[in-house]
Amino acid sequence: MKVSAVWMMMLTVCLMTGCGKTEQAQAASVAPAKAEPAAGSGTADVAAAADAPSAMRYGQSLPFAILEGAERKRFVALATAELCPCDGQVSSLDDCLQKPETACSLAVESGQVMMRAIKEKASDAQITDKVQQGVANARKVHTFSLEGRPFEGSATATATLVEFFDFECPHCKLMAEIVAKVSASHKAELRVVHKQFPLASHRNSPRASVAALAAHKQGRYWEFHDALFANQAELSAAEDPATLFEKFAKEAGLNLTKFNADLNDPALAKMVADDRAEGETAGIDATPTLYLNGVKLTDAHTEEDLIRIIESKLGGAKKN
């Protein structure tokens, strides 16, 4: 299977069930589907199941089967009333999502936001607000604090890619591989900056972020970053990741005395908290989330996508 296919499959699962969703949304999205009403059950329930939109209404664009019959009816009603956010489209979100050739990633993301909100039992007004706010955030040019944050590439690059991520998020691990390849081929034109966004559902991520920043103080952030992702399963399973951190620090050639002292540095914990707060202000609720020159990327799912978007911003600049 090609990387692009794997990524799209994982991204869909990520957006619906993990890597940053509220615990309520995660629980709702992974709950076992209820059986269809049996003969003799409530008339209203049978009727609702009978005239519900097909679970395949949007093909592979959305995991529509996650929603039950009445929820799918509600989704279609809301999506029909919402305009498609894709450039040049004047149809409804519902129409847009039914046509893969016109459904841009922002439309798919809007649909995913709507599905999660329905699962969270939000009101129609709340759902509409969530969708419209998401579109606005995707189109807005954001300004983030980058001072002291780990980066690779040229400090004078014409393009800056800011990535909010979580060390226990499997989708972040996959994106890290993609970003690393793109960064290596665009060293002069592209600066990649990391912002920490540890998730509440990942118990060791906050400490992993602090540990990585402690390594950054000794100029070994990327070595430590790579070790954390390479041993992600072990990190997630650890009752206490301190032993892992010391192992990675030794492998990276860090001064252990300084490293262990920096693990308790309140300034590093504040940097992690500040990154998380900035991300939340920007509307981030999932990882990884990328911004190129302040604009959220909704179409960067593969290495080829990212290269295409970056080079369009660089005016077709040649790679190193």
> Are the C-beta atoms of residues 129 and 111 closer than 8 Å to each other?
no
pLDDT in tens, 273-307: 999 999 999 989 889 999 999 999 877 767 888 88
Q: In what order do the strands lie in the sheet with 151-153?
A: 151-153, 190-196, 159-165, 289-292, 295-296
pLDDT for 238: 96
**Of 210, 189, 193, 213, nearest in space to 151 by CA:** 193
- Position 270 scores a pLDDT of 98
E strand intervals along 59-104: none
Q: What is the pLDDT of residue 73?
A: 96
pLDDT at 161 over 50: yes
Domain boundaries, the chain: 33-139, 151-313
Indicate the fold that domain 151-313 takes in CATH: Glutaredoxin (3.40.30)
β-pair type (159-165, 190-196): parallel
Query: What's the CA gap between 62 and 58, in Å, rounded?
Result: 6
76-86 pLDDT, tens digit each: 999 999 999 98
pLDDT one-digit tens code per residue, 45-101:
555 556 899 999 998 888 899 999 999 999 999 999 999 998 888 899 999 999 877
Rounded to an integer, what distance in angstroms lies between the CA atom of residue 285 and that of residue 287?
A: 7
Q: 196: buried, middle or exposed (CB in 10 Å: 19+, 13-18, 0-12)? A: buried
